[in-house]
Chain A
Amino acid sequence: MENLIALLVAAPLVGAALLLCGGKRLDRTGAWIGSLFAVASFAVAAVLFADMLGKSAEDRAVHQHLFSWIPVGGFQADVGFQLDQLSMTFVLLITGVGSLIHIYSIGYMEHDERRRRFFGYLNLFLAAMLLLVLADNYLLLYVGWEGVGLASYLLIGFWQHKPSAATAAKKAFLVNRVGDVGLSIAIMLMFTTFGTFAFGPVLAATGDTSEGKLTAIGLMLLLAACGKSAQVPLQSWLGDAMEGPTPVSALIHAATMVTAGVYLITRSGAIFNAAPDAQTAVVAVGAVTLLFGAIVGCAKDDIKKALAGSTMSQIGYMILAAGLGPIGYAFAIMHLVTHGFFKAGLFLGAGSVMHGMNDEVDMRHYGGLRKYMPVTFVTFGLGYLAIIGFPGLSGFFSKDKIIEAAFAKGGTEGWILGGAALLGAAITAFYMTRVMLMTFFGEKRWAETPGAAAPGQQVQHPHESPKVMTIPMIVLAVGSVFAGALFSVNEAFVTWLEPVTSFAHGHSPLSATAITASTIVVLLIGVGLAWQMYGRKPVPAVAPRGSLLTRAARRDLLQDDFNHIVLVRGGEHLTRTLVYLDHSVVDGAVNGTAASMGGLSGRLRQLQSGFVRSYAVQMLGGAAVLVAATLLMRGV
């Protein structure tokens, strides 16, 4: 059965090769071919999952060794896959949500001339992402890591005719490079420390390794995770990444790729468990990002950017949970899966709204759409309830557990983390309610006839999306509603993951009931506040100036300004200095050497006078030197 694992990766890879090399003759069928390969991969995943469930918990992890990749002396790199409960969870999420989004894209990209290429890139992404979670060593994981980075770059810039999209793609690529460097350094450190980079030996050897080295590896892994998962301080690319087509935002920049950092940290749990300082850094990053993203999400009028802020914030929760150690890993992954459902659903809903509104993204030009798009409204609404943690829905179960685990961290730290998580939950409720109200409720702020349209506003005829789009949304909405409850029955999910991630019950200073009650209270506060601001009063079609914080949040809390001043300006100065040094010092040395060689050559040339007598004298002198030197060597 384990021989099927390679097929998981191979199917979308073949699809990508077919679509990208197939040429124009596949233009018409490309979308279906791409979807077919995604669904095929999901089918294989389902078979493997059924097989895995049939085994006892200890025997569930299987390996498939494909071939020896780089065998060079002491450096052994293999291509091999490891399918255990953790990777299985990801495989199901990736292929499942991936298939749904492929199908959705058939409708969404229907009118795009380059959709064959789009599906080729999507398949390429699936293959790379599956490679990332299936690899049995860090080097192969790195290949997948770079592969999803490439696919992400290609898809963000898919509408490359828009300068903003091209710039956003480049920005995402560059920021991700910073994280990638972290991962490559971590892998090098692993090789020098453990002599290998296979998961098994590396994670088993953490007990015998000095904490300093493990902390260094852990921090580098965290840097990698920050880049890929858009965590502070490498979060700036995610908002701009919304320039990509909406299905891409749903699949890559909400449900799967951006969670790769959480996977990396969870997979490397043994390293972090043995390096408390690195763990502290992880929870700090998570806590800061969950508030950062939430605040940004409150101020955005662009529906996708508001959701992007929310993604950042939710991944912050996951990173926070992953940093808590064995009391949090399972909940991080659980929230990751439920988030995969509801955030993908929300994005698809946003895409559906845009599809019906001529690609309008400004929520101030929406309003009252629930009558025009009932299916979208319901599915989006369910996703909304799930993300804010409405009791009984997915987000409620998974987020509640993370908040509880944060308090269980203990001491002042526990109170700070728990408080931040609770505050985040309140803000989540606020900004999501704001999105919901501005989009589906209130007065319509768009015009159906040209006469009524404000300057710069399009004429709209909102309509519901076709079935090929709504069905995936419905499926995801079902997942958003039930997944959390399903996972929490008898702690099913925690038990499932325990053999891989290990699990410990946290002991929170507050009782579980108290925490649940307080989450519901902050939820109500957030929703109420949003209702007060956006439900009871009409929403202005042009954004008011807002407070200092609002204005800063609209500019992503000045992150780009910070980067520009510190990194871009600094980089420019550094470059100028280096160019100057290159011109004056390096070139000077090089040209100086060349000139002095030329001068020397010209001078030595003079010895070649053409007179045989002078040649003979030189030979005589040479002979004398030769004899003298030989005698000197002996000391005669």
Chain B
Amino acid sequence: MSSVASVHSLWTVAAELPGKIPAPRIEYGQLSPTLIVLGAAVVGVLIEALLPRRSRYYAQLLVSVVALAAAFAAVIGLAAGGFGSSKAGIAAMGAIAVDGPALFLQGTILLVSLVAVFTFAERRLDPAAHGNRVDSFAAQAAAVPGGEAEQAAVKAGFTTTEVFPIVLFAIGGMLVFPAANDLLTLFIALEVFSLPLYILCAVARRQRLLSQESAMKYFLLGAFSSAFLLFGIALLYGYAGTVTYAGIAEVIADGAKQIDPALAGTMGNDALLLIGAALVLMGLLFKVGAVPFHMWTPDVYQGAPTPVTGFMAAATKVAAFGALLRLLYVVLPGMRWDWRPVMWGVAIVTMLGGAIVAITQTDIKRLLAYSSIAHAGFILAGVIATSEDGISSVLFYLAAYSFVTLGAFAVVTLVRDAGGEATHLSKWAGLGRRSPLVAAVFAVFLLAFAGIPLTSGFAGKFAVFKAAAQSGAGWLVVVGVISSAIAAFFYIRVIVLMFFSEPKAEGPTVAVPSPLTTMAIAVGVVVTLALGLAPQYFLDLAGQAGVFVR
């Protein structure tokens, strides 16, 4: 076909379209969790515009909490209505899937976000500045660090209450991300939740330069990886002639049936499929923080305000792994013999890399960042299993891990000295003598990270390793267990440091938090122990949610 003819065919197709475009059908009920959160975000923006500064904090907190709770209730309602199983289907003209994994992940994201919002709203940890209670966020993020404008803003008692609508936008994007059923929705959801996160990383009240640097790095590298993702999407479109998951999967399985004249030269070309799939995978692996796309993690985790770090570490991971699961199980199952060995390699270097580099970290936030990398590797082991057990184990692991992470970062916000949070590990020496309760709670989280029995970490790790072993990836499990052993070293080292080292004279103090942070930590501990002591109920729940709609 000549180029003239192909252009002609494009024109004729385009000319015929107007009459053929049906009015889009939107299932508002099935999309309600996302819509509630995004609507609340818009309300939050209006609050910033319309309400006086004094009342914004409470209004924002109220709106956020109510919206997240309502969205969670909507998820539960959908699940109870059978949308997780028998009525699972595709909504919004094929853009969004409403099925078991989507609802499970959305529920997890909403719960984690609700708890995270509590830590965002914490205003008792820092001493009051000029009589105004302050939170973890800069008085005026746009002011130059250390400049006059900043001092004026602090003096005036400004607070960045915009973080609430921003985080709601991010949550909205995260809710769509694991449910996205075509590549464009996937990309848009990615950007919707990434851009707010870049902003959130930049607005720390203390160490603002570090915070801004981290946001900048995150943004640049995020944009870089988005470009890869987008390129991959383009290649996949070229291969399949469609961006819908089901359409691509069909072409992979049965070959292209109708050759789009405009794509006649590329459709069905396996090279495009392989390269495109690899690049899309890379975009998602960047978000989950897998080696070798993990470099942003430690820097961003360290620089971002700690509540944001906790939120990011927990919720982003859930959303990104959800999207990865759907991509691998719905779009690419037909080529799993191609991607499985590659992903094995990624999982192995991620587990080992995260665990090994964590050994020499001296900053608690960086330590937790590397720990999150190692955990991404463990979760990948479950993802690769390509079985129903693999799905349910990953869902369970994500739920378990996100609460542990959130709780751990919440504890990090409590340990403070004159310069704000005391994140250097040497300052944590002897914490167990001064604040036995806080140290004990942190020890519980560390033991869960290490995967010690009776904590959720053990149940989760056991589940993913079991799924991986059953899928024939025995060596992956061996590497996983070795990495766990390496990882146990640095977790236990912190416990030893807290309980068996002499406290330093000028050591940090443990701030007494408001009920908000207390609740966040308490929820973390309760979930960690509940999922550790009685994992079977939650595993069953994840198992019931474990079928993707196609």
Contact = CB atoms under 8 A, between A and B. Distances in A.
A and B associate: yes
Interface of A: 594, 597-598, 600-602, 604-605, 607-608, 610, 612, 615-616, 618-619, 621-623, 625-627, 629-631, 633-634, 636
25 contacts: A604-B353, A604-B356, A608-B295, A612-B221, A615-B295, A616-B221, A618-B295, A619-B221, A619-B225, A619-B286, A619-B292, A622-B292, A623-B278, A625-B292, A626-B285, A627-B275, A627-B278, A629-B278, A633-B337, A633-B338, A633-B342, A634-B270, A634-B274, A634-B338, A636-B271
B324 to A, nearest CB: 14
Contacts of B293: 619, 622
A74 to B, nearest CB: 23
A480 B48 CA distance: 106
Contacts of B356: 597, 600-601, 604
B: contact size bracket: 35 or more
Contacts of A607: 295
Nearest to A604: B357
A629 B271 contact: no
A604 B356 CA distance: 8
Interface in B198-232: 216-217, 220-221, 224-225, 228
A634 B271 CA distance: 9
Interface string B265-298: 0000011001101110110011000011101101
B275 A630 contact: yes
Contact of B275 (A608, A612, A622, A631): A631
A612 B342 contact: no
A621 B292 CA distance: 9
A612 B486 CA distance: 28
Nearest to A627: B278
B360 to A, nearest CB: 4
Contacts, number: 92
A401 to B, nearest CB: 61
Contacts of B299: 608, 610
Contacts of A630: 274-275, 277-278, 338-339, 342
A636 B339 contact: no
B345 interface: yes
Interface in B434-488: 486
Given A622-B293, A636-B270, 7 more contacts: A597-B356, A601-B356, A608-B298, A619-B293, A623-B228, A626-B279, A626-B346
Q: Is the interface of B mostly helix, strand, loop or mixed?
A: helix
A626 B293 CA distance: 11
Most chain A Cβ neighbours within 10 Å, of B216, B224, B286, B295: B295
B279 A623 contact: yes
Given A615-B296, A633-B341, A627 B279 contact: yes
B274 A602 contact: no
B195 interface: no
Interface string B505-519: 000000000000000
Contacts of A600: 356
A597 B359 contact: yes
Contacts of A594: 489
Most chain A Cβ neighbours within 10 Å, of B277, B296, B359: B359
A601 to B, nearest CB: 4
Nearest to B231: A623
Most chain A Cβ neighbours within 10 Å, of B228, B277, B298: B228
Nearest to B358: A601
A605 B298 CA distance: 11
Q: Is the interface of A mostly helix, strand, loop or mixed?
A: helix
Contacts of A610: 299
Contacts of B279: 623, 626-627
B271 A631 contact: yes
B216 A601 contact: no
A616 B278 contact: no
A609 to B, nearest CB: 9
A607 B342 CA distance: 22
A559 to B, nearest CB: 48
Contacts of A633: 337-339, 341-342
Given A612-B220, A619-B292, A623-B228, A601 B357 contact: yes
A605 B278 contact: no
Interface in B144-192: none
A631 B277 CA distance: 10
Contact of B216 (A597, A608, A612, A623): A612
B523 to A, nearest CB: 32
Interface string B286-320: 10000111011011000000000000000000000
Interface string B356-386: 1111100000000000000000000000000
Contacts of B338: 630, 633-634
A602 B357 CA distance: 7
B342 A626 contact: yes
Contact of B281 (A597, A621, A625, A626): A626
Nearest to B356: A601
Contacts of A636: 270-271, 274
A256 to B, nearest CB: 45
A600 B225 CA distance: 28
A631 B339 CA distance: 9
Given A629-B342, A634-B274, A636-B270, A618 B292 contact: yes
A614 to B, nearest CB: 8
Contact of A602 (B285, B342, B360): B360
A623 B282 contact: yes
A619 B337 contact: no
B369 to A, nearest CB: 10
B76 to A, nearest CB: 38
A612 B217 contact: yes
Contacts of A627: 274-275, 278-279
A619 B342 contact: no
Given A605-B357, A608-B357, A622 B220 contact: no
Nearest to B359: A601
Contacts of A634: 270, 274, 338
What are the 6 closest A-B residue pairs judged by CB atoms, nearest first?
Answer: A622-B292, A615-B295, A601-B359, A601-B360, A630-B278, A627-B278
Nearest to A612: B217
Contacts of A605: 357, 360
Contacts of B353: 604
Contacts of A598: 359-360
Nearest to B297: A608
A607 B337 CA distance: 32
Nearest to B216: A612
A616 B225 CA distance: 9
A631 B341 CA distance: 11
A630 B345 CA distance: 11
Nearest to A631: B274
Given A626-B278, A626-B281, A631-B271, A616 B359 contact: no
Interface in B54-77: none
B486 to A, nearest CB: 6
A619 B226 CA distance: 12
A621 B291 CA distance: 11
A636 B276 CA distance: 14
Contacts of B358: 601
Most chain B Cβ neighbours within 10 Å, of A601, A610, A633: A601
A626 B282 contact: yes
Contacts of B278: 623, 626-627, 629-631
Interface string B241-285: 000000000000000000000000000001100110111011001
Contacts of A608: 295, 298-299, 357
A589 to B, nearest CB: 14
Nearest to B228: A623
Contacts of A629: 278, 341-342, 345
A288 B225 CA distance: 85
Given A616-B224, A630-B339, A597 B275 contact: no
A410 to B, nearest CB: 61
B337 A616 contact: no
A610 B357 CA distance: 15
A615 B221 contact: yes
